[in-house]
């Protein structure tokens, strides 16, 4: 009785993890019940006979969880059966011309040659990835038809019935998979990638609190719970096989929802690979937190501000990229956080050159420098991930994200969106939107506060984004111009909604 309860509990757990599994089980049962009617009803059984079992076998082996996997297997099986059936009939015809004595010898030679060649082709990486099942069915069907044809006078009728039943079983699987609660592999891959962004962002945003807070001041149960929550990033480390399988299945799927036919699924794999490399650095960073060689808190505090900013800004960039991917919009807001994290790296470099760690013991210095090096790597990978996501957004034709004016983010960024006229033609109504984003900490000076101006020391980064207004000419959406101007330690002022920007010390103009 205890075994039965355990099975019931396991069934509930599996169903609760993904309710679509329960729906899939009912869909497979429906498909099998439909094709089994070939046996139950006499007119259908008379037409197909014992070959009706091929329809049942097709449903069992073809019906997969997602639409893409079902379509891939169904098309592979149909094409392989058709080609193998034709070759089997041809081989049987050639062998029959040689006489009764030589016929079985020729058939054996044909089976050997095609089976050997097909098996070797299965080792090709491209074939292994997408057509392995089809080649396997080709070998099976050719051998069965060739051998059966030797003892079967009506070889054409045999091939026709087997092909017909396979097609009926495959079509039943595909139709039920698409029209009854479909599960799209492309959507799953898209959601998985966005979830990986969120997972890494969570760790990076919480890293500062975990690293710079004394654990002895907190309840140990709470510490363990928090650390387990931080270690969710480990799911990203093992996501490669799942991503590759979903991308392979997604290539078979027709256009659905917001995903076009020939959607750039390969670029998803590129972004996922960079996320995994970043997750490996995070894994090493997490190990340094829990290492036996603990650094005194007073030593950590010397580098707290830049390290906190590096991890926090990288986490915010990851979060913005996740939101951009979920909404399928082109957004440059993550670039601001990337620039902020790079600025924190420069601040950290300046702080280290000042000799702030001269009195630190060598072993503690090694441990601390390991953490610093890993965080710098993470910042660099965040920039690479951002660039890769921009490439994905362009290839997938994500929509342009319209920034709202006078919006303030959690990090203290202020953005102002101002429409301006084109200088080329004053009568042209197709203008631009200028978005000014800056990290602002209000000065204590009353005059500065009254005008919304920040001091030189408090205004670090400004980005200007000029985006074509595509509300009138939507078909020219891809021709929009994005101009980002990043400044380091800028004397800036935002005096009114017109977005007046003073010049700074350094400007890097990047035109996409």
Give tens-digit pLDDT for 146-185. Answer: 776 655 556 677 777 778 888 888 899 999 999 999 999 9
Whole-number pLDDT of residue 360 = 80
Query: Domain 185-400: which topology?
Result: Methane Monooxygenase Hydroxylase; Chain G, domain 1 (1.20.58)
Dist. CA 428–CA 85, nearest whole Å: 65
Q: Which long-range contacts (CB under 8 A, 24 or more apart) does 284-293 make?
A: 284/374, 285/207, 285/371, 285/374, 285/375, 285/378, 286/203, 286/230, 286/231, 286/233, 288/367, 288/370, 288/371, 288/374, 289/207, 289/210, 289/211, 290/227, 291/367, 293/363, 293/364, 293/367
Whole-number pLDDT of residue 275 = 95
Q: Residue 493: is its pLDDT beyond 80?
A: no
Whole-number pLDDT of residue 440 = 38
Whole-number pLDDT of residue 481 = 38
Percent of the chain at pLDDT exceeding 90:
38
Q: Mind listing the pLDDT tens digit for each residue in 104-113?
A: 888 889 999 9
Classify 50 as helix, strand or coil. helix
How many helices and strands, by DSSP H and E, does the chain display?
A: 20, 8
Dist. CA 321–CA 33, nearest whole Å: 46
In angstroms, what CA-CA distances link 112 with 117, 119, 123, 151? 9, 11, 18, 19
Q: Residue 430: is its pLDDT beyond 90?
A: no
| Element (DSSP H or E) covering residue 330 | strand 329-330
Whole-number pLDDT of residue 200 = 94
pLDDT band for position 429 (50/70/90)? very low
Whole-number pLDDT of residue 151 = 55
Q: Residue 397: is its pLDDT beyond 70?
A: yes
Among the listed ranges 126-130, 145-149, 203-207, which one has the minimum average pLDDT value?
145-149
Among the listed ranges 119-128, 156-165, 349-358, which one has the minimum average pLDDT value?
156-165
- Residue 505 per-residue DSSP state: S
- pTM equals 0.74
Q: Mind listing the pLDDT tens digit for each residue in 212-247?
A: 875 555 566 666 777 777 788 888 998 999 999 999
Whole-number pLDDT of residue 411 = 41
Q: When comparing pLDDT for 313 and 444, which is higher? A: 313
Half-sphere exposure of 218 (CA within 13 A, CB side): 14
Among the listed ranges 35-39, 73-77, 138-142, which one has the minimum average pLDDT value?
35-39
Dist. CA 427–CA 138, nearest whole Å: 66
Whole-number pLDDT of residue 330 = 87
Q: When comparing pLDDT for 129 and 465, which is higher? A: 129
Q: Give the mean pLDDT of 369-390.
A: 93
Whole-number pLDDT of residue 267 = 94
Distance, first Cα to last Cα, the chain? 67
Q: When comparing pLDDT for 174 and 489, which is higher? A: 174
pLDDT band for position 48 (50/70/90)? low
Please report the sign of the dihedral spanned by the C-alpha atoms of residue 79, residue 244, residue 128, residue 137. negative
Q: When comparing pLDDT for 264 and 441, which is higher? A: 264
Q: Give the mean pLDDT of 483-512.
A: 36
Whole-number pLDDT of residue 425 = 40
Q: Give the mean pLDDT of 141-147.
A: 82
Q: Residue 449: is its pLDDT beyond 80?
A: no
Q: Give the mean pLDDT of 435-459.
A: 38
- As a whole number, the mean pLDDT across the chain is 76
List phi, psi (to 5°) of 425: -150, 110
Whole-number pLDDT of residue 409 = 41
Q: Residue 432: is its pLDDT beyond 50?
A: no
Among the listed ranges 78-92, 100-114, 304-318, 412-426, which one has the minimum average pLDDT value?
412-426
Whole-number pLDDT of residue 150 = 52
Domain with CATH 1.20.58.220 in the chain: 185-400
Dist. CA 124–CA 153, nearest whole Å: 37
Highest mean pLDDT among 81-90, 185-194, 327-336: 185-194
Whole-number pLDDT of residue 138 = 93
Among the listed ranges 98-112, 262-276, 479-493, which one has the minimum average pLDDT value?
479-493
């Amino acid at each position: 009785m205890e075994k039965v309860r355990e099975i019931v509990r396991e069934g509930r757990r599996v169903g609760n993890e993904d309710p679509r599994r329960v729906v899939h089980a009912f869909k497979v049962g429906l498909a099998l019940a439909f094709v089994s009617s070939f046996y139950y009803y006499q007119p259908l059984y008379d037409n197909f006979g014992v070959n009706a079992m091929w329809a049942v076998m097709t449903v069992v082996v073809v019906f997969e969880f997602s639409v893409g996997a079902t379509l891939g297997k169904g098309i592979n099986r149909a094409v392989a059966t058709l080609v193998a059936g034709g070759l089997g009939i041809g081989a049987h015809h050639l062998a029959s011309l040689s006489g009764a004595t030589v016929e079985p010898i020729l058939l054996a030679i044909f089976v050997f040659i095609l089976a050997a060649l097909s098996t070797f082709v299965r080792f090709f990486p491209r074939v292994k990835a997408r057509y392995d099942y089809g080649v396997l069915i080709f070998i099976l069907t050719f051998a069965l038809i060739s051998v059966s044809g030797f003892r079967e006078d009506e070889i054409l009728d045999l091939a026709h019935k087997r092909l017909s039943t396979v097609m009926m079983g495959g079509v039943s699987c595909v139709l039920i998979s698409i029209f009854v609660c479909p599960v799209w592999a492309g959507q799953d891959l898209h959601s998985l990638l966005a979830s990986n962004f969120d997972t890494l962002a969570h760790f990076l945003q919480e890293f500062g609190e975990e690293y710079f807070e004394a654990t002895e001041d907190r309840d140990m149960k709470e510490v363990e719970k928090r650390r387990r929550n931080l270690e969710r990033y480990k799911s990203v480390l093992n996501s490669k096989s799942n991503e590759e399988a979903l991308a392979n299945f997604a290539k078979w799927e027709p256009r659905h929802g917001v995903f076009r036919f020939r959607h750039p699924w390969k670029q998803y794999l590129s972004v996922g690979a960079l996320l995994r490399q970043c997750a490996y650095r995070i894994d090493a960073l997490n190990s340094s937190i829990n290492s036996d060689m603990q650094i005194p808190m007073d030593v950590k505090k010397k580098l707290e501000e830049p390290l906190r900013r590096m991890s926090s800004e990288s986490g915010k960039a990851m979060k913005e990229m996740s939101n951009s991917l979920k909404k399928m919009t082109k957004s440059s807001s993550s670039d601001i956080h990337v620039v902020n994290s790079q600025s924190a790296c420069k601040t950290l470099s300046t702080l280290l050159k000042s000799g702030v760690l001269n009195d630190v013991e060598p072993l503690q210095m090694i441990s601390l420098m390991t953490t610093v090096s890993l965080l710098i790597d993470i910042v660099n990978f965040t920039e690479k991930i951002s660039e890769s996501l921009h490439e994905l957004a362009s290839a997938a034709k994500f929509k342009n994200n319209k920034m709202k004016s006078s919006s303030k983010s959690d990090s203290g960024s202020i953005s102002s969106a101002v429409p301006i006229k084109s200088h080329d033609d004053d009568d042209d109504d197709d203008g631009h939107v200028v978005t000014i984003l800056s990290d602002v900490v209000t000065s204590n000076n009353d005059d500065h506060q009254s005008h919304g101006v920040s001091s030189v020391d408090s205004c670090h980064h400004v980005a200007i984004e000029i985006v074509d207004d595509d509300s009138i000419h939507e078909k020219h959406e891809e021709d929009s111009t994005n101009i980002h101007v990043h400044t380091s330690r800028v004397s800036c002022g935002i005096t009114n909604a017109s977005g007046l920007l003073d010049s700074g010390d350094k400007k890097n103009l990047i035109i996409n």
